[in-house]
Amino acid sequence: MTTQTGRKVTANIALTLDGRYNRPGGPTDAAAIVRYATTEVARNHLTRIWENATTAVLGRISAEGFLGYWPTVAADENADPRDRGYAKWLVDADKVVLSSTVTDAPWERARVVNAPATDVIAELKAGGAGDILVNTSPSVIKALLAADLLDRLYLMITPEIAGDGERLFEDGLPSSQWTLTDQEVGELGEIALVYDRAR
């Protein structure tokens, strides 16, 4: 039996009002999300998600996008301090990239694992300290929701209805209760929410 360290498993994702993380054009069609990414509320939320985390878990697509972009922000002295803080954290954090197609990690402090998300999370919880942040990786978050392994959800809700695209909360998830522990509303109508799993 695996000994647990008490590490929290958290997840961060932005969704439209109808619960979608992209629009009909597929994974790269994120216009209903991206336009809200640089608001005051979004940047405050960005700081919240990583402040207690020591490990980032990413799917391959998120890893390629994030780790191709954020290191340049970490080096940019003119970047918003909240963006730069997150960027530096991501560069320095231990990163686990879940992939069945990539075997080597071209990023520092990262390893690629071809295993079910639930197994990877169990391994991470058995050692180390600090929160484990599943960072904007829908396929990983869905697997952990299905297994009821998430302790906290960081959600950014944008005031748009995508009408089509992929949903985070699919039918068939186990029922669960969550406690709202933080919320912030932005000028554009975006809402940052933090929910803790009530167990």
Q: Where are the chain's structural domains?
A: 11-198
Going by the DSSP 8-state scheme, the letter that residue 173 receives in this structure is: P
d(CA 114, CA 126): 18
Residue type present at position 86: Y
For the beta carbon of residue 130, count every other beta carbon within 10 angstroms.
Answer: 14
Q: Is 3 exposed, middle or buried (0-12, 13-18, 19+ CB in 10 A)?
A: exposed
Confidence of residue 2 (pLDDT cuts 50, 70, 90): very low
CATH tag for 11-198 (out of 3.40.30.10, 2.40.50.220, 3.40.430.10, 3.40.50.2300): 3.40.430.10
Model's pTM, two decimal places? 0.92
d(CA 161, CA 32): 8
pLDDT digits (tens, 9 = 90+) for 90-129: 999 999 999 999 888 888 899 999 999 999 999 999 998 9
Could you give the percent of the chain with pLDDT greater than 70? 97
pLDDT digits (tens, 9 = 90+) for 164-196: 999 999 999 999 999 999 999 999 999 999 999
Opening angle at CA 164, ends 11 and 161, nearest 5: 75
Return the pLDDT at 140: 96
Q: What is the mean pLDDT of residues 64-82?
A: 91
